[in-house]
């Protein structure tokens, strides 16, 4: 019998009434709002009301540097959450909401997979409760106010060429990357070149993910820098009268969404900032609620440990005040083999036959990447646990190879089969995580707020990425100088680089050494509270391929959705 599709498994799931799922987290009916049959929004009063409950152990799920196919990080996060019940512990899972752009582009969905899924997956993959749409609306409200400000006389003195605020849409649409607006007649505004990013790349998304309250979100919106005057003075959303309207548009969205896994584990799905130019983590408010919901709060951070986990530690934990107790590093046979440099994996094409053949030596040849990502966790004083995400084509000797690599550096390790077996397949991981989280923690940020922006960039580049140093283009150097001068120097940094290498060159596998990191440009998300240096080409608006998933997403003869996964 063929293994059932994600959609078949999801449709067969036995969902628990979602208010009962909330109840098990200690969240009473007065704190929730139903959104459809199977989703709740949780009121932010829960943060204060639950403050006396015991604090869960806080676990972040990260990974080795992924292949273009991804290594099953969401699936492992969900599987680990499900597994905790099997070892008698209660867990809450916290993940990002997927973007609709990629769902209709290449992915077809992002709800986990197999027997480790968040349900209802149709809701998760589509609008959910509309939070992303609220981000789009709030962002573009500010854009409209900005161009209207120019049109109505430009009282703030914005330099039209110094405008940094663009527009956003949650769709993969390459032609919107670079546009000219304001054409037509004199009533149609002032022409200028600008562009659209995908909604996940909006600073509104990052702010919404980092704010601890509506009030703090309002203040962060006010600080958003939309551009500069002719003499380099920042102009903010507050200056052009947009922060209040943005807050009103985003007020309901700040309530976290509660769903469940196939095994009824509570799952907070909230916010979805980009993992390159933003910090790539789900929301702080969801974690502030989830941290009181049971024995473990398990959250996922985007891409490899050098990316999402580093930002989780240095940006998200800075904003939330929460400190992690353990970190999972998801590893796969195929990723470590790819890090050997012996194979090339291309999204949308079958894996090379040679990669699928049993060969533990290929795994060992890619060990450096796993060792470095374990080190990146330890740099922050957190206990790492390696989760070997098993695939049907794997060979036991290859799992054994990963285990050897991890144990050689003293990390806990577990093979997990949640995709095929659900939570029961990840109990070894659950036990290992529970042990790691029980160790005394020594969590530390990588750098103090008071370090200069260059010092911050350099400590991440050299300690986390393994670079010999950093080279700044003239433009980047000037921008850093300006940010320091504008008083933004105490913010953390979010280095926008490829997620396909620990280095800033996507072609370098393993744990590259002997390279210097080039910084072309440095941008600022002042409302979100980070400075982001750009190393290489960062695409903030994806395109559609020749045969996008949208062509296959449809309704069937019973009006049921087909084509999502």
- Per-residue string for binding with a second copy, 168-187, x by CB under 8 A? -xxxxxxxxxxxxxxxx--x
Q: What sign does the dihedral 170-172-173-176 (CA atoms) show? A: positive
Lookup: tokens for 506: 């996507």
Q: How far is the CB of 526 from a second copy (least distance, A)?
A: 20
**Residue 246: which of 136, 146, 142, 166 has the closest Cα?**
142
Using alpha carbons only, what angle is made at residue 278 by residues 273 and 282, rounded to the nearest 5 degrees? 35
**C-alpha pair distances (Å), 372 with each of 96, 377, 459, 519:** 25, 9, 15, 22
Is residue 6 at the binding interface for a second copy, with CB under 8 A as the rule? no
* Separation of alpha carbons 166 and 182, rounded Å: 14
* Separation of alpha carbons 478 and 33, rounded Å: 48
The smaller minimum CB distance to a second copy, of residues 240 and 333, is found at 240
* Separation of alpha carbons 82 and 98, rounded Å: 20
Is residue 28 at the binding interface for a second copy, with CB under 8 A as the rule? no
Assign 483 to helix, strand or coil.
helix
Is residue 49 at the binding interface for a second copy, with CB under 8 A as the rule? no
Other Cβ atoms closer than 10 A to 346:
11
CB of 160 within 8 A of CB of 150? Answer: yes
- Choosing from 344, 475, 485, 552, the residue that interacts with a second copy (CB under 8 A) is 552
- Choosing from 66, 109, 227, 242, the residue that interacts with a second copy (CB under 8 A) is 242
The smaller minimum CB distance to a second copy, of residues 100 and 367, is found at 100
Is 108 annotated in a binding site? The answer is no
* Secondary structure of 67-78 in HEC code, one letter for each residue: CCCCCCHHHHHH
Burial class (CB within 10 angstroms; exposed 0-12, middle 13-18, buried 19+) of 276: buried
**Bridge partners, residue 197, by sequence:** 168
424-432, 449-457, 489-497, 547-555 -> range binding a second copy (CB under 8 A): 547-555
Q: How far is the CB of 38 from a second copy (least distance, A)?
A: 9
CB of 548 within 8 A of CB of 176? Answer: no
Is 366 annotated in a binding site? The answer is no
Give alpha helix (H) positions in 126-211.
131-151, 203-210
Size of the site for a second copy (CB under 8 A): 74
Q: How far is the CB of 31 from a second copy (least distance, A)?
A: 12
Residues 359 to 388: which contact a second copy by CB under 8 A?
none
Q: How far is the CB of 396 from a second copy (least distance, A)?
A: 41
Q: What sign does the dihedral 415-420-423-424 (CA atoms) show? A: negative
Is residue 553 at the binding interface for a second copy, with CB under 8 A as the rule? yes
Alpha carbons within 13 A on the beta-carbon side of 437: 24
Is 109 annotated in a binding site? The answer is no
Is residue 513 at the binding interface for a second copy, with CB under 8 A as the rule? no
Residues 123 to 142: which contact a second copy by CB under 8 A?
126-127, 129-130, 133-134, 136-137, 140-141
Is 67 annotated in a binding site? The answer is yes
Is 73 annotated in a binding site? The answer is yes
The smaller minimum CB distance to a second copy, of residues 231 and 559, is found at 559
The smaller minimum CB distance to a second copy, of residues 171 and 502, is found at 171
Residues 79 to 108: which contact a second copy by CB under 8 A?
100, 104
Q: How far is the CB of 101 from a second copy (least distance, A)?
A: 9
56-64, 163-171, 318-326, 383-391 -> range binding a second copy (CB under 8 A): 163-171
Using alpha carbons only, what angle is made at residue 489 by residues 205 and 242, rounded to the nearest 5 degrees? 40
The smaller minimum CB distance to a second copy, of residues 227 and 423, is found at 227
CB of 414 within 8 A of CB of 429? Answer: yes
Instruction: Give the phi and the psi of residue 525 in degrees, each rounded to 5.
Output: -110, 85
Q: How far is the CB of 215 from a second copy (least distance, A)?
A: 7
- Choosing from 41, 73, 220, 316, the residue that interacts with a second copy (CB under 8 A) is 41
Q: How far is the CB of 269 from a second copy (least distance, A)?
A: 16
75-83, 201-209, 236-244, 408-416 -> range binding a second copy (CB under 8 A): 236-244
Is residue 151 at the binding interface for a second copy, with CB under 8 A as the rule? yes
DSSP-derived secondary structure for 312-377: IIIIIHHHH----SEEEEEE-HHHHHHHTTS----TTSPPPHHHHS--HHHHHHTHHHHHHHHHHH
Is residue 536 at the binding interface for a second copy, with CB under 8 A as the rule? no
Q: How far is the CB of 102 from a second copy (least distance, A)?
A: 12
* Separation of alpha carbons 460 and 495, rounded Å: 8
Is 435 annotated in a binding site? The answer is no
Is residue 543 at the binding interface for a second copy, with CB under 8 A as the rule? yes
Q: How far is the CB of 449 from a second copy (least distance, A)?
A: 28
* Separation of alpha carbons 373 and 386, rounded Å: 10
Is residue 563 at the binding interface for a second copy, with CB under 8 A as the rule? yes
- Per-residue string for binding with a second copy, 250-289, x by CB under 8 A? -xx-------------------------------------
The smaller minimum CB distance to a second copy, of residues 193 and 513, is found at 193
| Residues of the binding site | 67-74
| Residues of the binding site for ATP | 67-74
């Amino acid at each position: 019998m063929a293994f059932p599709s994600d959609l078949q498994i999801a449709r067969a799931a036995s969902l628990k009434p979602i208010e009962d799922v909330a109840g098990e987290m200690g969240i009473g009916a007065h704190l929730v709002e139903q959104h459809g049959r199977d989703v709740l929004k949780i009121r932010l009063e829960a943060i204060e009301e639950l403050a006396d409950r015991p604090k869960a152990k806080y676990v972040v799920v990260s990974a080795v540097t992924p292949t273009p196919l991804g290594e099953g990080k969401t699936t492992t996060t969900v599987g680990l959450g499900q597994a905790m019940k099997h070892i008698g512990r209660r867990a809450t899972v916290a993940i990002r909401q997927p973007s609709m752009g990629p769902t209709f582009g290449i992915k077809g969905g992002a709800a986990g997979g197999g027997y480790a899924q968040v349900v209802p997956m149709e809701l998760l993959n589509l609008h959910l409760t509309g939070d992303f749409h609220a981000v789009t609306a709030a962002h573009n409200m500010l854009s409209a106010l900005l161009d209207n400000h120019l049109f109505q006389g430009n009282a703030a003195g914005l330099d039209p060429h110094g405008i940094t605020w663009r527009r956003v849409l949650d769709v993969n649409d390459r032609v919107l990357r670079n546009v000219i607006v304001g054409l037509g007649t004199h009533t149609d505004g002032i022409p200028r070149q600008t562009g659209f990013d995908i909604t996940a790349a909006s600073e509104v998304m990052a702010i919404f993910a980092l704010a601890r309250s509506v009030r703090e979100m309002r203040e962060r919106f006010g600080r958003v820098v939309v551009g500069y005057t002719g003499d380099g003075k920042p102009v903010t959303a507050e200056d052009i009268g947009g922060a209040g309207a943005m807050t009103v548009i985003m007020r309901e969205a700040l309530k976290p969404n509660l769903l469940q896994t196939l095994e009824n584990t509570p799952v907070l799905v909230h916010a979805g900032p980009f993992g390159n130019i933003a910090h790539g983590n789900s929301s702080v408010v969801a974690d502030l609620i989830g941290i009181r919901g049971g024995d473990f709060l398990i959250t996922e951070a985007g891409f490899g440990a050098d990316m999402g986990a580093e930002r989780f530690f240095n940006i998200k934990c800075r904003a939330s005040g929460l400190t992690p107790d353990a970190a999972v590093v998801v590893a796969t046979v195929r990723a470590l083999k790819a890090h050997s440099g012996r194979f090339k994996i291309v999204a949308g094409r079958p894996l090379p036959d040679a990669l699928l053949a049993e060969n533990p030596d290929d795994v060992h040849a890619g060990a450096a990447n796993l060792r470095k990502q374990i080190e990146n966790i330890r740099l922050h004083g957190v206990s790492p646990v390696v989760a070997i995400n098993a695939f049907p084509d794997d060979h036991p000797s290859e799992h054994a190879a990963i285990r050897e690599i991890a144990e050689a550096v003293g990390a806990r390790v577990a093979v997990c089969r949640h995709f095929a077996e659900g939570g029961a397949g990840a109990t070894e991981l659950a036990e290992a995580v529970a042990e790691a989280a029980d160790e005394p923690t020594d969590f530390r940020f990588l750098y103090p707020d008071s370090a200069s922006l260059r010092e911050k960039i350099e400590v991440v580049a050299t300690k986390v990425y393994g670079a010999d140093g950093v080279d700044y283009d003239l433009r980047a150097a000037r921008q850093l100088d300006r940010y320091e001068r504008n008083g933004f120097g105490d913010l953390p940094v979010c280095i926008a680089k490829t997620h396909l290498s620990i280095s800033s060159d996507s072609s370098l596998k393993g744990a590259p050494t002997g390279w210097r990191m080039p910084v072309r440009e440095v941008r600022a998300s002042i409302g979100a509270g980070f400075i982001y240096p750009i190393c290489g080409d960062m695409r903030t608006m994806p395109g559609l391929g020749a045969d996008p998933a949208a062509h296959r997403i449809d309704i069937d003869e019973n009006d049921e959705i087909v084509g999502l996964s």
